[in-house]
Amino acid sequence: MSLAISKIDLTDSCAVWRRNSRVYLRLWKTELVAPIIEPIFTFFAFGFGVGALVTSDVEGLSYLSFVGAGVLAFTVLMRTIFEMTYGAYFRMVYQSTYDAILATPVNAESLAFGEIIWAVTKGVVDCLFILPLVVIFGSATSLFTPLSILPLIFGCIYLGGLGLAITAHVYEIDYFNIFFALFFSTLFLCGAWFPIEMLPGWLQIVAFIIPTTSVIDLCRACLTGNFAVKHIYESIYLLIISVLLLEWALRSIRKRMVA
């Protein structure tokens, strides 16, 4: 059995990507509100609000430095997941955009990949707006700060793949509620707001299995310059999960659309 990833035609995926970017450029003013407003208020809440209660250092960092990676990853990943769930579902079911595209030489795999690289692009664009805020609020102290885009790209691929695969299995929009209940629950465990070492042992294992934990940890390493051996393992884990979920998304879209 051949891999779905091997069936991707990059020129076709690019055509799908360009369709989405054209719509984005038309709506760019509304699209950019969230990635600017959200992190500012998250910094207010966690940096100044919760941060005021945290007097000791967290993993050798001030709380504001610690929480920066969480704010950055939280905003970027959230955009990706919404784009690949509700956004993709609208295009697939309500607008039948996928149907229209699949009547052309573009195959299901290239369509799905085009959608995912679009979600990644949106994440990266958001990241470019949030990073200066992270610097302004004093959370980025290292010269490696721009590198934090890399773990976020893989975070977007993994969550984009997961989101699109789930979307391909959803036949009623309300089913997203179950997925989001699980997804939001994991976000509180993945080391964005406190070190996962504070959790009981078994819950730490759960936290490490959630790939978002690796994304945030790697982001934090880039923002603060505190690298460790565990970051190599986290990178490998994130890479493997991204490829697996990408493959699952491609297969799921084919199964849903070509039947």
Partner 1 sequence: MNFAIEAKNLVKRFADIAAVNDISFIVKHGETFAILGENGAGKSTTMRMIACRSPLTTGELSVEGLNVKNADRRIRSLIGVVPQENNLDPDLNVRENLLVYSRYFRIHKEIAQTRCDELLEFIRLKEKANAKVEQLSGGMKRRLIIARALLHRPKILLLDEPTTGLDPNVRQEIWEKLEELRRTENLTIVLSTHYMDEAEKLAQRLIVMAHGRIVVEGVPHEIIKDKVKKFALEIREADSFNLRQTDKILSQKRGSTHLYFAKLPKI
3-state secondary structure the chain: CCCHHHHCCHHHHHHHHHHHHHHHHHCHHHHCHHHHHHHHHHHHHHHHHHHHHCCCCECCECHHHHHHHHHHHHHHHHHHHHHHHHHHHHHHHHCCHHHHHCCCCCCHHHHHHHHHHHHHHHHHHHHHHHHHHHHHCCCCCCCCHHHHHHHHHHHHHHHHHHHHHHHHHCCCHHHHHHHHHHHHHHHCCCCCCCCHHHCCHHHHHHHHHCHHHHHHHHHHHHHHCCCCCHHHHHHHHHHHHHHHHHHHHHHHHHHHHCC
Chain residues binding partner 1 by CB under 8 A are 11-12, 15-16, 18-19, 22-23, 26, 95-97, 99-107, 257-259
Q: Which is nearer to partner 1, 32 or 243 (CB)?
A: 32
Q: How far is the CB of 199 from partner 1 (least distance, A)?
A: 43
Q: How far is the CB of 252 from partner 1 (least distance, A)?
A: 16
Q: Which is nearer to partner 1, 173 or 239 (CB)?
A: 173
Q: How far is the CB of 35 from partner 1 (least distance, A)?
A: 20
Q: How far is the CB of 21 from partner 1 (least distance, A)?
A: 10
Q: Which is nearer to partner 1, 110 or 148 (CB)?
A: 110
Q: Which is nearer to partner 1, 15 or 36 (CB)?
A: 15
Q: How far is the CB of 246 from partner 1 (least distance, A)?
A: 21
Q: Which is nearer to partner 1, 11 or 177 (CB)?
A: 11
